Chain A
């Protein structure tokens, strides 16, 4: 057992924090549903932060740390698929990567746009293609999930897709780890934003954070959110299918538990686009439904653990 981060990892996270600092906050009143930054995206890719999984002494756990840290930013950046799945396929695959399951036609897909690499995973194996206008039904720049999203209209013929000699199960495992890592960061940021608000907002002559009705629910949220981080790290280190399914399950369960509460605690401010809370919570809502949601994660975990 060794649960501390290494010196190399600390340096990477410090450098990442330095890079991300200009993107750590957004001007109030300047927030749309899905906030993105091409500049941040380019800086991350250019500096190799999304390629750490393949590096000696760093590996998937460092990639998960990077994903978790970046998910705390108000800007949505495609990191999880690139950092955790791409190394299994082809480190040169163009970003963003969009992960979909077999039969995903008609689904809204995160970060889908012309030029994106769509990775299809399922019984048919692991394949990819470059998305074009022909594959995309509707672009949802203002998707309610706070990610840039679009509906995947159709998949190309199998012969037009690139196939990979990688087991689908392995890709699903890394997908789940990425999902859990991203959710961990989102949960941390949403909790922090809520804590700040309730500590400042006064009613009845005192901060509303002094009322136990909020304190206990926020404390419970801290417990389940913090748990996500460690579940993610364990799964990233082990690469075990059961650990990954449990991490994703716990993340989706945590997200389900806290998202409405956080908006509730902000009162009417929680209904606005002026406060950035939705940038994290509405991304969490997208993750709640990914990979079939808690039910599918639960079944995958049960299969991996108990057969």
Chain B
């Protein structure tokens, strides 16, 4: 075993840090704390991701034939860590390089590839994913937004909710129901967000701007060519896509960086005294590092092309514990910093709540662990 980064990996991280230092404005942290879905970061991301693409660091983990450098998942992890800890200047575009782009490459038609990939590789594409609905959250397969094929066109009616980045997105990766078969009746449509009949309402939130929306589809009509994959193939496709996104955002890295920064503040202010603060900080650090180790064990599997099972859920749950522990530490020992002095701490604290809710609730992860890791007999349905 070796927990050290290679020289090449360290150099890659250094390059990213130098790039961030050069590209981010002096007041970046006061912009970043609005969240990756905010208008400010979205606007900034279109320029920043373009620069990142020019520097060859927007999608270095993509295959060479797709314009990437064919670097392994460790590099993707380093990229994600540095970007997320910096306040995610890629905004919503991190999704593009993590899974939307690779999914288009694998399942898209030639026409879709030609149309949809260039803006992504240029760093100028904002996507939203139309998955959750008011009655289909954790139970995603019960979604009801209906798409009906009529005269070579799909007519869409229904509602999505909790849709990140919807207000500023160019396209929606939309899950629709085309038949009553629970999973095989779901079909993906790529819908431009300026199509008539789409209404977006941002939901006021405590986690930052632009992150959660309701999206209404009222007689929205798109050509049959908007279908992505075959009718009923959505479940297979998103299962593949989310494998690329299994661990999602490297929240453990920002959590640990936030903790280090909070401790630095306490020390600078003469408040790193007594035992309690140190013990609580260490408990939070332990959770950050155990979450990191769990995630790295899965990255290793990706690198070796080994199947990834429910251990990803275990890692995800550890990340939730780490995020909470750090946020609680800051509230308890550095509360003043959350008012206005430290946008970085505020950013983490605002968004720490997301870890256990987004991309599959923490309780769903526990269900998966119980059934697939511990192999407990299933609950009756």
Complex CA distance for A237 and B373, rounded to whole angstroms: 26
Complex CA distance for A24 and B311, rounded to whole angstroms: 26
> When each residue 213-234 of chain A gets 1 if its CB lies under 8 Å from chain B and 0 otherwise, what string results?
0011011101110111011011
Complex CA distance for A6 and B289, rounded to whole angstroms: 23
B366 in contact with A207 (CB, 8 Å): no
B317 in contact with A2 (CB, 8 Å): no
Known contacts A246-B285, A295-B275, A306-B281: does B304 contact A4 (CB below 8 Å)?
A: yes
Name the A residues within 8 Å of B321 (CB-CB): 223-224
A1 in contact with B267 (CB, 8 Å): no
Complex CA distance for A266 and B129, rounded to whole angstroms: 44
- Closest Cβ of chain B to A303, distance in Å, is 8
Interface residues on B, range: 35 or more
Total number of A residues with any Cβ neighbor in B under 8 Å: 51
Q: How many A-B residue pairs have CB under 8 A?
A: 158
In this assembly, does B112 line the interface, its C-beta being within 8 Å of a C-beta of chain A? no
Complex CA distance for A71 and B277, rounded to whole angstroms: 33
The residue of chain A having its C-beta at the shortest distance from the C-beta of B6 within the complex is: A1
B267 in contact with A306 (CB, 8 Å): yes
Known contacts A218-B374, A231-B289: does B379 contact A302 (CB below 8 Å)?
A: no
B370 in contact with A3 (CB, 8 Å): no
- Closest Cβ of chain A to B381, distance in Å, is 11
B366 in contact with A220 (CB, 8 Å): yes
The residue of chain B having its C-beta at the shortest distance from the C-beta of A65 within the complex is: B1
Complex CA distance for A216 and B313, rounded to whole angstroms: 13
Partner of B318, one of A215, A218, A227, A295: A227
> When each residue 345-381 of chain B gets 1 if its CB lies under 8 Å from chain A and 0 otherwise, what string results?
0000000000000000001011101100111111110
A207 in contact with B377 (CB, 8 Å): yes
The residue of chain B having its C-beta at the shortest distance from the C-beta of A231 within the complex is: B290
Partner of B296, one of A1, A211, A294, A298: A1
The residue of chain A having its C-beta at the shortest distance from the C-beta of B319 within the complex is: A223
- Closest Cβ of chain B to A254, distance in Å, is 9
Complex CA distance for A295 and B363, rounded to whole angstroms: 30
B373 in contact with A222 (CB, 8 Å): yes
B278 in contact with A237 (CB, 8 Å): no
CB contact list, B283-322 vs A, under 8 A: 283, 285-287, 289-291, 293-294, 296-297, 299-300, 304, 311, 314, 317-318, 321
Name the B residues within 8 Å of A216 (CB-CB): 363, 366-367, 370
In this assembly, does B282 line the interface, its C-beta being within 8 Å of a C-beta of chain A? yes
A1 in contact with B74 (CB, 8 Å): yes
The residue of chain B having its C-beta at the shortest distance from the C-beta of A249 within the complex is: B286
- Closest Cβ of chain B to A266, distance in Å, is 15
Complex CA distance for A206 and B377, rounded to whole angstroms: 9
In this assembly, does A238 line the interface, its C-beta being within 8 Å of a C-beta of chain B? yes
